[in-house]
Amino acid sequence: MSRDMLHALAVQAPNVHWCWGERVERVAPGVLQVAGEGPVRFDLAIDVRGVNSRPDLAVRGVRGEVIWLHAPGVQLQRPVRLLHPRHRVYIVPRPGDLFVVGASEVESEDRSPVSLRSAVELMAAAQSVLPELAEARIVHMEANLRPALPDNEPHTHTEPGLLRINGLFRHGWLLAPALVQDALTRLGHPPAPLRGFPPPVPEGGHSLWPGQARSTAVLDGTLAPAAPSDVPPAPCAVH
């Protein structure tokens, strides 16, 4: 998850004690161990370390690259996805005349900057769909790893004192709310239904499949913010 998103979450949960920049070395039932510190006991330890959850999970990193373009005047109201022999390319309009073009999928844990080949292919594909992008300015390029398990499916593990969620691969932002709901239900804390879910079935139409409906709720920003907790902040490390 990007640092911006983590900061947005922190704003929504003021009573949570956030330990920025700490590296967790071990996650076990009811136990977290931060680098350089002793183990600390908790009611529930949650492991969402992505690629760094090895060796507890057989997770691998799959490289993805995106390009940010600035193109004032180019009109695009919705994300567009196109078929491409090498990339599943999408163009996402963002506020401020920005467009995100992504994403490559390379079986490698290389986090180095975007390659010329990926950049050329992504931008050529985007421009073939929207020729008006020809004069766009390249404002940012980004490469990162997606955590994937051997079957490329998301995985939730629960046992007393421990929750692990991993393998979100290409669709982590989309899947996260549904996976968290599922995990809370497994832990015996079923959350309140999402506002706007299930969506109304259009007259004479078909219902959306549940994952799509939940994703729509997330994309529309209709998720309720987390309720503030009464739990006082705890120190990052207790000896």
Ligand X SMILES: Cc1cc2nc3c(=O)[nH]c(=O)nc-3n(C[C@H](O)[C@H](O)[C@H](O)COP(=O)(O)OP(=O)(O)OC[C@H]3O[C@@H](n4cnc5c(N)ncnc54)[C@H](O)[C@@H]3O)c2cc1C
* Site of tokens 């994952």: 211
The minimum distance between CB 142 and ligand X, in angstroms, equals: 6
Closer residue to ligand X in complex, CB, 68/73: 68
Question: Are 8 and 16 within 8 A, CB to CB?
Answer: no
Token reading at 86: 């090498």
The minimum distance between CB 203 and ligand X, in angstroms, equals: 31
Closer residue to ligand X in complex, CB, 50/74: 50
- 223 to 4, 46, 135: CA distances (angstroms): 18, 22, 37
Position with the least CB separation from ligand X: 172
Closer residue to ligand X in complex, CB, 9/208: 9
Three-state SS across 172-186? HHHHHHHHHHHHHHH
Closer residue to ligand X in complex, CB, 90/197: 90
The minimum distance between CB 119 and ligand X, in angstroms, equals: 13
Q: Which residues bind ligand X (CB under 6 A)?
A: 1, 23-24, 48-52, 64-66, 102-103, 144, 146-147, 166, 168-174
Residue type for position 55? P
The minimum distance between CB 153 and ligand X, in angstroms, equals: 12
Which of 86, 37, 45, 26 is CA-nearest to residue 187?
45
